[in-house]
Structure 1
Amino acid sequence: MHPTIPGFTYQRVPVADDVTLNVAVGGSGSPVMLLHGFPQTHLMWRHVAVELAAHHTVICPDLRGYGASDKPAEDAGAGGVTYAKRTMAADAVALARALGHDRFALAGHDRGALVAIRAGLDHPEAITHLASLDVLPILDTWDVMHGTGAAVGFHLYLMAQPPGLPERMIEASADEFFGHFLDIWTRDAGAIPADIRAAYLAASRASVPSVVADYRASAGIDVVHDRADRDAGNRLRMPVTVLQQDWGAALGFDAAARWRAWAPDLRHTTVSCGHFMAEEAPEEVVKAVLDLLTR
């Protein structure tokens, strides 16, 4: 038996010509979509989703290229558009509409937060509120990584390489590669129990080319899109809540200031836990999302 979110129903929803997403839906009320990060699936929201479903319709997809969602081949001739955050954001908006929601709140962690940010920039008419967990916008991520401190992001540089080498290297030791991040980014090892860890590793092992393509896009076409928005003064118009670990000072930059440049209506909060805060500090995440939705 594969783990599931208790009380949620599962369906497959077409969102593009060649992509159908695996989606868990629960609760009732105004809609909130939760987008997972790396190296995870929608299951990372299992605690948060159940709590939010007491008040809201909660939509938890696997992103394209991850989990049980479709994994289209990267189109090398299209400049990375298959896994551009713009494409993945369009998936999220199409998913919400397919489920009957023209407007919805959106929360993302890690990779899912990058998709959420892009959705907020590209589809302000659809995104009512936006929450980002433990990530900087793409341009800022690259701006702040330098010197020996950038060693923590070695995977960003590895997966930015042209197709071939990174896929082969990761596939040769997939469980060790993905398990490395589950280990070093977690303060409370018990937050990811054995069955959930096994599900993450199995899903990641089966998704190496698409996971790499997602990261490769963030060193290429995503930077182009974000830079165009920054140059044009395009900002997130909706209320934004950011939860981050206490890593800003350690890396020598002001994370809140970088976020304010993108989000004028911002609440930025530091959470004392590891990277996987929806699993390590779900109560704080639930409270932050519910507070966001009152703004």
Structure 2
Amino acid sequence: MRGFILAAALLMAPALCLAQTADTTAHEVSFVTTSDGLKLEVLDYGGQGSPILLISGGGRTAHDFDAFAPRLAARHRVFAVTRRGLGQSDKPPLNPEAHTLARLIRDDVEVLDALKLPKATLAGWSLGGAELSGMAHHHPGRVTALVYLDAAYAYAFYAPANAYPDAVNVEIDLADLRDKLQAARFGAKADAARIYDQVLTRDLADLVTDIRAAAERRRQLSKGLAEGPPAPLSKLMTRQNMEKFPAVTGIPILAVFAIPASEPDLTPAARADEALMLKWRREQIGRYRAAHPAARIVEIDGADHDVFNSHPDIVLREIEALLDRVVSPAP
């Protein structure tokens, strides 16, 4: 259950998750200025070999990788970025335009440009998986490989009835419908007809499926999942960071999923809720696996949501194995 709770906190209340321990890890700190004038904190952990850019989770910073990144730097050139609005990165106004997924993806491209990296392996934790999928779909030429660190959930891969995080699929459907209907309204006549047909024949059916699935989950759970209203930044990030991502093709993928250990001393109702959430998580992992037959899928029993910290040896081994297959050894 701890993994479920931590993941929900990262997604829904990032303003509460910013405390960091003292920074004693050997790395260099620099700042990349984006095209809209913000400075983003970038950590350089050194190393040689193929470059890796680590992308933090929702509400977190690049320093969450401080324990893991130096081990990765033994064979690779490792960087990490703190997204806008968090940590030492600049905080733009709380308006939708400054926090869209498209803007976050552009930030990642501009970080790669500033680091003079034509391509890199991207490793994202939690909500960072949305940026990974966005880079793969919109800038595939900049991506060597993708590593989803408990990050290949609904925000990173859309399939009807995905259950994790709870009801995010409904948010994705609504964002997608809004964008398509606006495009139909202001687009050419032929495009409008095509878009309206797609909405009627597929997208509304997806929305109905996802609403029914969300309603059924709430009926089955003994209590709601919400811990309270999201912080303003979290609300912006959650609602603006949605895209109906299909399966990624043509890019090597490692997707690591944490399977949380059962919590002790739960009430019977809480134990039943825990079993339901695990069932829905496994169903969602199954959809991801079926849609990505070439990907390496790793499920780690007893792992925390920050799986690279709770099980660093397994994660490091899997990343090394992936990159041994897809990049040439450093000279």
Same fold (TM over 0.5): yes
C-alpha spacing 1:19/1:100, structure 2 compared with 1 (3 Å)? same
Post-superposition offset of 1:95 = 0.3
Contact conserved, 1:73 with 1:210, CA < 8 A, in 2? no
Which residue of 253, 261, 266 maps to 1:240? 253
- Deviation track 1:174-226 (CA, whole Å, cap 9, x = no partner) reads xxxxxxxxxxxxxxxxxxxxxxxxxxxxxxxxxxx4333212213xxx23xx2
Q: CA deviation at 1:12?
A: 0.7
The answer to whether the Cα contact below 8 Å between 1:71 and 1:210 also exists between their aligned partners in 2 is: no
Distance in 2 (CA, whole Å) between partners of 1:24 and 1:153 is 35
Aligned partner of 2:154 in structure 1 is 137
- Cα root mean square deviation, aligned: 2.7
Alpha-carbon spacing, 1:241–1:17, altered in 2? closer, same or farther (3 Å): same
> Counterpart of 1:256?
285
1:95 aligns with 111
Query: What is the CA–CA distance in structure 1 between the aligned matches of 2:22 and 2:133, rounded to whole Å?
Result: 28
Does residue 154 in structure 1 map to residue 208 in structure 2?
no
The CA distance in 1 between the partners of 2:137 and 2:289, in whole Å, is 14
Does residue 211 of the first structure (1) align with residue 234 of the second (2)? yes
Alignment of 1:67-146 (within 5 A): 67-75=87-95, 80-135=96-151, 136-138=153-155, 139=158, 140=162, 141=164, 142-143=168-169, 146=214
| Alignment partner, residue 14 of structure 1 | 33
User: Which of 271, 293, 296 does residue 267 from structure 1 map onto?
Assistant: 296
Give the aligned length.
Answer: 232
**Structure 1 contact 48–283 (Cα < 8 Å) conserved:** no
What do the CA deviations read for 1:86-143 (whole angstroms, capped 9, x no partner)?
2212211210111110100000011112211211111110011001121303234434
CA distance in structure 2 between the aligned counterparts of 1:5 and 1:239, rounded to whole angstroms:
33
TM-score by structure 2 length?
0.63
Cα distance 1:14–1:263, how it changes in 2: closer, same or farther (>3 A)?
farther
1:61 aligns to 2:91 (yes or no): no
Q: What is the CA distance between 1:19 and its match in structure 2? A: 1.9
Q: Give unmatched runs, 5+ long, in structure 2.
A: 1-19, 170-209, 261-276, 326-331
Decide whether aligned partners of structure 1 residues 262 and 102 sit closer, same or farther in structure 2, where only a CA change above 3 A counts. farther
Aligned counterparts of 2:24 and 2:114: Cα–Cα separation in 1: 21
Q: Give the CA deviation at 1:62.
A: 0.6
- How far apart are 1:249 and its partner, in Å? 4.4
Could you tell me whether the CA contact under 8 Å between 2:42 and 2:79 is conserved in 1?
A: yes
Correspondences of 1:42-61 after superposition (within 5 Å): 42-61=62-81
Deviations 1:38-97 (A, max 9, x none): 34211211122001111111111111122111121133xxxx342222221221121011
Query: Are 2:23 and 1:4 aligned?
Result: yes
Residue 137 of structure 1 aligns to which amino acid in structure 2? A
Matched letter for residue 49 of structure 2: G
Q: Deviations over 1:224-244 (max 9, x none)?
A: xx2xx54xxx73421111111
Q: State how far apart, in whole Å, the 1-side matches of 2:31 and 2:73 are.
A: 20
**1:277 Cα deviation from its structure 2 partner:** 1.1
Write the deviation string for residues 250-295 of structure 1: whole angstroms up to 9, x where unpaired: 3265233322465443111111211121221122221121122123
Q: Do the aligned residues in 1 keep the contact of 2:133 with 2:248 (CA within 8 Å)?
A: no
Partner of 2:207: none
Structure 1: 5+ residue stretches without partners? 160-166, 168-208
TM-score normalised to the size of structure 1?
Answer: 0.70
Counterpart of 1:177?
Answer: none
State the structure with more CA Rg: 2
